[in-house]
Every structure is written in C-alpha cells, then in structure tokens.
C-alpha cells in the first residue's frame, strides 16, 4: 500500500482536471482559495486557462463565456461568493450553460467565519437564484468524494447543460488526508452532445424525446446565439406564452425526470431496523461512527448517506422512509435538508439532529440521538 | 461587400435614437474589414444597447446588466482567434464599473462600445454615471448630488491602451469604430448620443450641442502611448508555456510498523513561526509510511507571524470517520498562544496521555504525564521545536517510531533542509537520553 497526502481542495482540482476541465476562474476566498491555487499550478502546463477575476461576478462570468465556446469550466468559492454568483447562476440555469461550481461552505450568515465549517447553504444553492428552476448539487463526504464527485459533477453539467454544485465544507476541503487518487474509479468523461453543424441550427431546440438541446460552440461555423432573456428555440427574446411555458417546463423536467437515475448515495440498510439515519457531507462520517457504535450495543439501524442532494432523489427516499418507523436527519446546520425528508416521510416520524457552532458534530452526541 | 445586418430583425429603437446610427456604422466597419459572422461575437448586456446582438448575423452573447465584459473575457481567452465586440450603455458602464476598470488593466483584445446617452433609457430615464448634474432626469433631484464621470479619463487612468470619445453623429463614425476594432488590445469607445425616448424630452441635447461639448474636452482618439503593452491573452499564453509541470503526485510506501495500534490523536499547540503545520504534515507522512490513515486539521489566524498555530492529527489503521480531536494521546505544548487556544482540552486529558512541553511554557493542570524539555539548552531553535518534539515522541515510542520520522523527513525535504532536519532530530534525541 502507498498513499498520497493532500487536502480536499487539491483532490477537487485534480478531479476537475481528470474530467477534462481546462478553464478555471475564481476569486480568492477562504476556505476555497486552494482550489484556485491548485488549478493555477495544474492548468497552465496543460495549455489550460486559469484566471483570477476582479470579483466573484466576473469569475463566474468568465466561465460562462468560456463554457459557450465548448470548454469545461470550473469556479470555486464559499457562501459570500455564491451570493455574488447568484445572477450568473440563474443565467446558466435558464440558458443551459454547463458549469461546475465548487462551494466550500463556511459558517454564515454573511461573511460569517472564514475558517469554520458548516453546511449552511444546502437550500441556498438550490433556491438562491431567480426563477426557481432546478440545479444539481453533489455533496462529498471525504477526500475521495472530492475527487470522484468533481468528475461526476462535470459529467452531469455536460449531460444536462446546467450548473452543478459541489457542496463541500471547510472541514473536508481544508483537512489534509491520506488518499490514493490513482486507485479511485472515476466515471468515464462525458461530453455535451453536439448538433450536426451541417444542418440549420436552433440553439435551444430539442429533438423529439430529448430534454436537453444539442450544443454548438460560439466561434464555430454555425452562428450561435446565447441569451439571458426569456427565449424561444431560436435564442431570441420571446413573449409567446406557449413557447415560454414549454421552455420553463423543459428546464424543470430535464433535471427532475432524471432525479432518481442520477442519485448517488451509500445505503447501509438493515431490514430489521426501525430507524433510518439520513446524512450527507462531512457529518456523514461522524454518523457512520455513531451508527457503528450503536449497532455494537445491539441497536438496529439503517443508514442512508446522500451524495446527490438536488434534485432530491424522491423515489429512493420514499422507498426507504416507508420501510422505517422513524427517520433521523443529521446535518451541520439547524435543519435544512430535513424539510425535504419531511415532505416525503408519509407516516414515518422525522427527527432532526444538528448543530451550527463551527465545530464538527461529534459521533458520541449523534449516537445519543439514535 | 456583405452587410452583417440581420434583415429579419431591423433595429427597433425609438424614432431618432442615435443607437441606430451606431448599428449601421458598426456594420459598415465590420464589413469593410471583411469580417464574417462566424469570426465575430457580439456581446451585450441589458438596456437599449443590449439589443445590438439581435441586429447582426454573428455569434451572439447577451447577458446580465454590466457583465458583458466578463463573458467577453472568457470567450476571448478560450478562443483568442475570435473578434469580440462588446456593447453597453452608460448604465452597464456604471453597474459593471469594476469589470470596465479590470478589463482596462488587463488589456485583453476586445472592443467596447459604450453607447453613452446620459441616462437609463429603458427603465424610464433615470440618472446614470454620466448624467450631468444639471440634467432633468427620472431620478428627481438625485443626479444633482453626484458628479458624472468622463469615461475616457476613467478608462485611461485604469490603463486602457486605446480610447476614443466620439459623437454618434460624426461622419467618420464607422472609420473610427473600425480603427478601434483593428487595435490589438482593449479599446474603449465612448459614443455620445441622444435618447429622444427619455432624455431629450426634458434636456436640450442635439448633435450640434454634442459637438460643442466634445470640443470643450481634450480630444481623445487612438492609442494611449503610456498604456501600450502586451495584449493579455498573448502574454498569458507566453507565460503559461513557461510554467513547469509540477503535477507529479508522490506516493509514500507503507513499509514500517507503527508502535501502537488503534486510533491515535496528537495535538500540536504552537505559535506562528514554529512550523507547526509542517510538523503535523511530517507526523502524517510518518503515519502513512506505517500504512496508517491520517488526517490533519490546522487552526491559525488569518494574519501571519503572530498568534497561535495549532495542528490536530489523527492516525488510525482503520479509515478515519471523525477528524476532530476527542482524547489526545499526545499533546505538544510549544507556545503559550497555542496552549491558550485549547483551554477545554486540558481537564479532559487522561493519565495515559503524554504532554511534551517546551521549558518555559506553563501548562494548566492536567492528569497526563508531562515531560518538559529544554530545547534551548539543546541548541534547538524555536522554529524547530515542533520537529524536535516529534523526535521525542519517536524516542519514547509514542505514535511513531524513529524510522517512520526519518522516512517522513526524507520524503518531505531534500538537500540542505533535509540535513538540518535530521540534525535537529539527532539533537532532540540526545536531549531525551540526557533526561
Ligand atoms: S429609450 Fe432612448 S436609448 Fe432606448 S431606444 Fe428609445 S431613444 Fe433609444
């Protein structure tokens, strides 16, 4: 056995490069800065572009421009930066621009605590932009997930032409761990599907039975229109209610209809258990310890660690909730994702255990709640 | 000669709007250069000037208010071969001011046309960053309180290498726009015009008046000599090509046996300048050399060379779930700031725990076994105390062995630094023999 030693942010950067990312733009912010530092080290020798924007709005704007030429683009920030990204995120959603956004969550609200972790942006990443359309959010549990989920995030961004968040946490991103990246299985890189440039091109038209428009790059032989305005298939602003309705419904359906298919999770289900523990992110590590400790004491427990938070894997959750009398949702916040569990729980009782004081949840305290 | 104008979508501005003159002049300029639509991107933002991309048969990128330069920069960096023309109004210039200044400083090969009509036309004629204080606009008295900016002065101060201040009505407008498009760098073209829809309802502004006001200002038209320098995307490519590929990831082979099994927690309590983070890393590398899983969490203030520096290490043969510190096996107490940083830890230390303290660092009461070392007397500098304390741990067989520590040092350092580290370890080991 031989291992490497690095922090989560380096694994994220290396996962991005492995997925084919050759464009990064960001603005320094603790605890996400070292994603940028690593991309600055990795990309130029590969012929890639790494830029520091004048602010977060510019950084994500650079990515949107580059993504429309066909590049796989990455940006990384923390809560205050996600706030500034908001208008550009809604642009990427509504205008179907593939992009991976790393959010190294830190304790908020606002500037909060730069060097304290929390999972306080879980609802914010989904809803913190105008228009209310779905996004994809993946949450790594440890350094291995930092590497592999980043690669998944690029594949999903390409496949669905949408922004994909990697919702990490200071406690994973800036913690150094032993890891062997070479032994971690990465998904095969996915490229966005392109239209045949020989045919007339409508930038937002979808073929029968498809929900994601075929892509052609800005700068190719075929003229491409990109617009943040409400548009029809031709990429021109429209006020036609029928066209608007179809476009809005498609944006929703392309993500929602795939929710269960793209769900990434670890299920450790005991058919004899009456309690299902649901966790994600760094807290899932402590939860695993707590569950193991309680099982040693003879308690029967099931554990579901979610790695895809949005779109909510409703089928998976409903099925597992129905098989248990009680669910305990553990989060490093004061109760966010538990709202999604509650609406799917049916007759299953839902309890919440969380804290948001800048410290990691302790396995012993979690065990008491189980 | 083929116009790039989209005949399906003719301009839809208010009658008499000067924007239309800019559309046709831009088209003429592009046409004169033989540019084809697929070689060109028109990037626009919000407002009446944001309609520009729809009038041309070219690649188009229409985005959020004031952000056009951000998209244009990404496009140009990803595809330096494309011609990128950005349009914005005085509104976009104001709200995106940081992007304008940064793009001037960068000098990336984009052409920015500011359609400056001294108000926000689309939203009802409110004041913008260029509205004269004496104008009557939709912002009531508020514009009287602000001083308008001169775009060219601003952009020049920010480093724009090409500037032009023009009237939308001047006869050679297309030649002037063409010259800006030709310039291989960032060109800012401030085009003064009238907005009959909003502004000139209450303000006297005619082509003649524009000429008079322009004549009052120093002429600005062409390259700015003091701002000439390399274009950003070219300079980037040149410097990037010289970056050395330091991608190589090194593995640390597992070759030793750790002195104890099970989870081990170590806390290093030190201060700035004591290389606490490096010592924590060395302990982790040593752990990996014994096939252990390791985690390291660091805690230091955002300022440097002052205050505490704390490193928390976990080593375990099994995968590490909880990366926090629960019951430390070893605490290295190397500075008062570090000790003060973890007040709650001391009463909880068990009698099996070991504290290695530098002489002179006073400790709260605890039940752990405390070993005080006089590193100074051993001729070990404060910056090396953390490494020395690791050597003491190794000598006592706590958490790591001497061969694990030596392997970590050999992995992490080379040359003179390695020799110095090994010498520090030897001196610290000698101290433990004396004690
Ligand atoms: S509102 Fe003003 S700027 Fe807008 S189209 Fe009308 S005249 Fe032109």
The atom number, within ligand 1, closest to the CA of B125 reads 1
- Tokens matching residue A128: 């913190």
Q: Which of B122, B125, B199 to mutate to test the pocket of ligand 1 (most atoms within 8 A of CB)?
A: B122
Helix (H) or strand (E) holding B60: strand B59-62
User: Nearest residue of B to residue A70 by CA position?
Assistant: B78
- Residue to mutate among B319, B321, B408, with most A CBs inside 10 A, is B321
What is the rounded distance in angstroms from the CA atom of residue B388 to the CA atom of residue B93? 58
- Tokens matching residue A346: 């049916």
Rounded to 10 degrees, the C-alpha dihedral B36/B41/B44/B49 comes to -10
The atom number, within ligand 1, closest to the CA of B18 reads 8
Q: What is the mean pLDDT of chain B?
A: 96
CB B171 within 8 A of CB B211: no
How would you write B236-284 as a 3-class SS string?
HHHHHHCCCCCCCCCCEECCCCCCCCCCEEEEEEEECCCCHHHHHHHHH
Of A367, A336, A340, A366, the residue nearest A353 (C-alpha): A366
Residues in B closer than 8 angstroms to A88, CB to CB, are 64, 67
User: Which residue's alpha carbon is nearest to atom 2 within ligand 1?
Assistant: B195
What is the rounded distance in angstroms from the CA atom of residue B342 to the CA atom of residue B344? 6
Cβ distance A288 to B321 less than 8 Å, yes or no, reads yes
Q: Which domains does chain B have, with CATH numbers?
A: 19-236 (3.40.50.970), 264-434 (3.40.920.10)
- Residue B95 Cα to ligand 1 middle (Å): 19
Residue A351 has phi, psi (to 5 degrees) of: -110, 155
What is the rounded distance in angstroms from the CA atom of residue A78 to the CA atom of residue A105? 5
pLDDT over 60 at B144, yes or no: yes
- Helix B97-106 and helix A56-67: axis angle, to 10°? 70
Cβ distance B322 to A223 less than 8 Å, yes or no, reads no
CB A19 within 8 A of CB A102: no
SS3 B197: coil
Q: Is A127 exposed, middle or buried (0-12, 13-18, 19+ CB in 10 A)?
A: exposed
Across residues B208-230, what is the average pLDDT?
97
Whether B89 is in the pocket of ligand 1, judged by its Cβ within 6 Å, is no
Of A180, A184, A207, A181, the residue nearest A195 (C-alpha): A207
Across residues B306-327, what is the average pLDDT?
94
CB B368 within 8 A of CB B374: no
User: Nearest residue of B to residue A71 by CA position?
Assistant: B78
- Residue B195 Cα to ligand 1 middle (Å): 5
Residues in A closer than 8 angstroms to B299, CB to CB, are 115
Tell me the pLDDT tens digit for each residue of A28-59: 999 999 999 999 999 999 999 999 999 999 99
Whether B280 is in the pocket of ligand 1, judged by its Cβ within 6 Å, is no
**Which pLDDT does position B35 carry in this prediction?**
96
Q: Which domains does chain A have, with CATH numbers?
A: 4-183 (3.40.50.970), 265-369 (3.40.50.920)
- Tokens matching residue A201: 């091109």
Of B64, B294, B297, the CB nearest to A91: B64
What is the rounded distance in angstroms from the CA atom of residue B154 to the CA atom of residue A299? 70
Query: What is the distance of C-alpha A148 from the center of its chain?
Result: 12
Q: Per DSSP, what are the bridge partners of residue B369?
A: B354
Residue A112 has phi, psi (to 5 degrees) of: 50, -130
CA distance B59 to chain A (A): 5
**Which pLDDT does position B247 carry in this prediction?**
65
What is the rounded distance in angstroms from the CA atom of residue B55 to the CA atom of residue B22? 11
Residues in B closer than 8 angstroms to A197, CB to CB, are none
Tell me the pLDDT tens digit for each residue of A82-135: 999 999 999 999 999 999 999 999 999 999 999 999 999 999 999 999 999 999
What is the rounded distance in angstroms from the CA atom of residue A2 to the CA atom of residue A181? 11
Cβ distance B64 to A3 less than 8 Å, yes or no, reads no
ipTM of the modeled complex: 0.97
pLDDT over 70 at A153, yes or no: yes
- Please name the residues in contact with B267: beta carbons below 8 A apart, sequence gap of 6 or more: B310, B311, B312, B313, B325, B328, B330, B331, B332, B342, B345
SS3 B67: coil
Label residue B303 by pLDDT band (50, 70, 90). Answer: confident
CB B63 within 8 A of CB B43: yes
- Residue to mutate among B48, B232, B236, B322, with most A CBs inside 10 A, is B322
CA distance A342 to chain B (A): 27
Strands (E), B155-208: 162-167, 187-192
pLDDT over 60 at B17, yes or no: yes
User: Nearest residue of B to residue A68 by CA position?
Assistant: B75
Label residue B289 by pLDDT band (50, 70, 90). Answer: very high
Q: Which of B90, B198, B203 to mutate to test the pocket of ligand 1 (most atoms within 8 A of CB)?
A: B198
**Which pLDDT does position B250 carry in this prediction?**
86
What is the rounded distance in angstroms from the CA atom of residue A303 to the CA atom of residue A286? 12
How would you write chain A as a 3-class SS string?
CEEEEEEHHHHHHHHHHHCCCCEEEECCCCCCHHHHHHHHHHCHHHCCEEEECCCHHHHHHHHHHHHCCCCCEEEEECHHHHHHHHHHHHHHHHCCCCEEEEEEECECCCCCECCCCCCCCHHHHHHCCCCCCCCEEECCCCHHHHHHHHHHHHHHHHHHCCEEEEEEEHHHHCCEEEECHHHCCCCCCCCCCECCCCCCCCCCCCCCCCCCCCECCCCCCCCCEEECCCECCCCCECCCHHHHHHHHHHHHHHHHCCCCCCCCEEEECCCCCCEEEEEECCHHHHHHHHHHHHHHCCCCEEEEEECEEECCCHHHHHHHHHCCCEEEEEECCCCCCHHHHHHHCCCCEEEEEECCCCCCCCHHHHHHHC
Q: Per DSSP, what are the bridge partners of residue A4?
A: A179
Of B37, B60, B288, the CB nearest to A3: B288
CB B288 within 8 A of CB B271: no
Cβ distance A61 to B294 less than 8 Å, yes or no, reads no
Tell me the pLDDT tens digit for each residue of A166-224: 999 999 999 999 999 999 999 999 999 999 999 999 999 999 999 999 999 999 999 99
Length of chain B: 435
Whether B121 is in the pocket of ligand 1, judged by its Cβ within 6 Å, is yes
Tell me the pLDDT tens digit for each residue of B338-358: 999 999 999 999 999 999 999
Cβ distance A362 to B240 less than 8 Å, yes or no, reads no
Of A191, A214, A218, the residue nearest A203 (C-alpha): A214
- Residue B196 Cα to ligand 1 middle (Å): 6
**Which pLDDT does position B1 carry in this prediction?**
61
Helix (H) or strand (E) holding B68: helix B68-78
A369: left (phi over 0), alpha (psi -120 to 50) or beta: alpha
Tell me the pLDDT tens digit for each residue of B150-179: 999 999 999 999 999 999 999 999 999 999
User: Nearest residue of B to residue A360 by CA position?
Assistant: B324
The atom number, within ligand 1, closest to the CA of B193 reads 3
User: Nearest residue of B to residue A284 by CA position?
Assistant: B321
DSSP B337: H
Residues in B closer than 8 angstroms to A286, CB to CB, are 321-322
Whether B51 is in the pocket of ligand 1, judged by its Cβ within 6 Å, is no
What is the rounded distance in angstroms from the CA atom of residue B413 to the CA atom of residue B420? 10
Percent of residues in chain B assigned helix, strand, coil, to nearest 5: 40, 20, 45
Q: Is A276 exposed, middle or buried (0-12, 13-18, 19+ CB in 10 A)?
A: buried
- Residue A188 Cα to ligand 1 middle (Å): 51
Whether B47 is in the pocket of ligand 1, judged by its Cβ within 6 Å, is no
Q: How much is the CA Rg of chain A, to the nearest whole Å?
A: 21
Q: What is the mean pLDDT of chain A?
A: 97
- Residue A233 Cα to ligand 1 middle (Å): 27
- Max alpha carbon distance in chain A (Å)? 67
CA distance A227 to chain B (A): 4
**Which pLDDT does position A173 carry in this prediction?**
97
Of A5, A49, A224, the CB nearest to B59: A224
CB A326 within 8 A of CB A304: no
- Residue B18 Cα to ligand 1 middle (Å): 8
Label residue B435 by pLDDT band (50, 70, 90). Answer: low
What is the rounded distance in angstroms from the CA atom of residue A222 to the CA atom of residue B359? 74
Label residue A258 by pLDDT band (50, 70, 90). Answer: very high
What is the rounded distance in angstroms from the CA atom of residue B107 to the CA atom of residue B233? 9
- Residue A91 Cα to ligand 1 middle (Å): 25
Tell me the pLDDT tens digit for each residue of B88-136: 999 999 999 999 999 999 999 999 999 999 999 999 999 999 999 999 9
Label residue B244 by pLDDT band (50, 70, 90). Answer: confident
User: Which residue's alpha carbon is nearest to atom 8 within ligand 1?
Assistant: B17
- Tokens matching residue A281: 């992110």
């Amino acid at each position: 056995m031989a291992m490497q030693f690095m922090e989560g942010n380096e694994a994220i950067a290396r996962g991005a490069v492995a997925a084919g990312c050759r464009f990064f733009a960001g603005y320094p912010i603790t605890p996400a800065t070292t994603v940028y530092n690593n991309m600055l080290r990795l990309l130029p020798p590969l012929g890639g572009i790494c830029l520091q924007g004048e602010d977060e709005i510019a950084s994500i704007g650079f990515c949107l421009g580059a993504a429309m030429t066909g590049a796989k683009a990455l940006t990384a920030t923390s809560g205050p930066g996600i706030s500034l990204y908001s208008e550009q995120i809604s642009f990427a959603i509504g205008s179907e621009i593939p992009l991976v956004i790393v959010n190294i969550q830190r304790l908020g609200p606002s500037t909060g605590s730069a060097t304290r972790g929390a999972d306080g942006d879980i609802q914010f990443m989904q809803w913190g932009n105008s228009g209310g359309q779905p996004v994809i959010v993946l949450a790594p549990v440890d350094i291995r997930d930092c590497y592999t989920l980043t690669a998944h995030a690029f594949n999903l961004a390409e496949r669905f032409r949408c922004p994909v968040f990697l919702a990490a946490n200071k406690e994973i991103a800036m913690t150094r761990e032993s890891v062997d990246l070479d032994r971690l299985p990465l998904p095969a890189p996915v490229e966005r599907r392109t239209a045949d440039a020989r045919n007339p091109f409508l930038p937002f038209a979808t073929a029968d039975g498809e929900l994601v428009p075929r892509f052609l790059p800005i700068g190719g032989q075929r003229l491409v229109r990109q617009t943040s305005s409400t548009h029809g298939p031709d990429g021109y602003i429209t006020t036609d209610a029928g066209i608007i309705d179809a476009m809005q419904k498609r944006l929703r359906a392309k993500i929602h209809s795939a929710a269960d298919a793209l769900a990434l999770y670890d299920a450790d289900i005991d058919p004899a258990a009456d309690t299902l523990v649901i966790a994600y992110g760094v807290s899932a590590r402590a939860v695993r310890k707590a569950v193991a400790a309680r099982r040693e004491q003879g308690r029967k427990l099931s554990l579901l660690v979610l790695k895809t938070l949005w779109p909510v894997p409703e089928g998976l959750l409903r099925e597992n909730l129905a098989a248990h009398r009680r669910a305990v949702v553990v989060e490093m916040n004061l109760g966010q994702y538990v709202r999604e569990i509650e609406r799917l729980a049916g007759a299953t009782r839902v309890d919440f255990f969380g804290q948001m004081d800048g410290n990691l949840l302790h396995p012993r305290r979690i065990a008491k709640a189980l | 000669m083929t116009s790039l104008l989209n005949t399906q979508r003719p301009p839809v501005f208010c009658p008499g709007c000067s924007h239309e003159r800019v559309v046709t002049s831009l088209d003429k300029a592009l046409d004169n250069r033989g540019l084809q639509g697929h070689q060109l991107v028109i990037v626009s933002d919000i407002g009446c000037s944001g309609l520009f991309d729809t009038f041309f048969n070219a690649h188009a990128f229409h985005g959020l208010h004031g952000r056009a330069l951000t998209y244009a920069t990404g496009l140009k960096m990803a595809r330096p071969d494309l011609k990128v023309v950005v349009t914005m109004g005085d509104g976009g210039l104001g709200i995106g001011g940081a992007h304008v200044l940064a793009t001037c400083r960068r000098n990336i090969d984009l052409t920015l046309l500011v359609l400056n009509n001294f108000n926000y036309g689309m939203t009802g004629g409110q004041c913008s960053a260029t509205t004269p204080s004496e104008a009557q606009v939709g912002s009531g008295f508020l514009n009287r309180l602000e001083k308008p900016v001169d775009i060219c002065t601003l952009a020049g101060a920010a480093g724009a290498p090409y500037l032009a201040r023009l009237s939308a009505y001047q006869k050679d407008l297309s030649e002037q726009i063409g010259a800006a498009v030709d310039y291989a760098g960032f060109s800012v073209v401030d085009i003064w015009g009238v907005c009959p829809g909003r502004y000139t309802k209450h303000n006297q502004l005619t082509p003649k008046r524009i000429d008079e006001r322009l004549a009052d200002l120093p002429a600005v038209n062409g390259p700015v000599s003091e701002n000439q320098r390399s274009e950003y995307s070219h300079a980037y490519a040149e410097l990037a090509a010289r970056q050395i590929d330091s991608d190589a990831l090194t593995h640390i082979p597992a070759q030793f046996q750790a002195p104890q099994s099970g989870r081990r927690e170590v806390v290093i309590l030190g201060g700035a300048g004591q290389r606490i983070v490096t010592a924590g890393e060395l302990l982790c590398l040593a752990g990996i050399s014994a096939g252990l899983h390791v985690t390291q969490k660091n805690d230091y203030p955002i300022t440097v060379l002052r205050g505490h520096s704390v490193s928390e290490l976990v080593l375990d043969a099994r995968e590490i779930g909880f990366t926090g510190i629960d019951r430390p096996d070893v605490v290295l107490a190397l500075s008062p700031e570090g000790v003060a940083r973890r007040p709650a830890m001391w009463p909880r230390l068990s009698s099996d725990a070991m504290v290695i303290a530098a002489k002179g660092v006073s400790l709260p009461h605890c039940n752990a076994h405390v070993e005080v070392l006089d590193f100074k007397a051993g001729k070990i500098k404060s910056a090396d105390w953390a490494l020395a304390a690791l050597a003491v741990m190794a000598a006592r067989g706590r958490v790591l062995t001497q061969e694990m520590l030596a392997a970590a040092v050999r992995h992490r350092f080379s040359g003179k630094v390695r020799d110095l580290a090994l010498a520090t370890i030897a001196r610290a080991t000698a101290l433990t023999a004396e004690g």
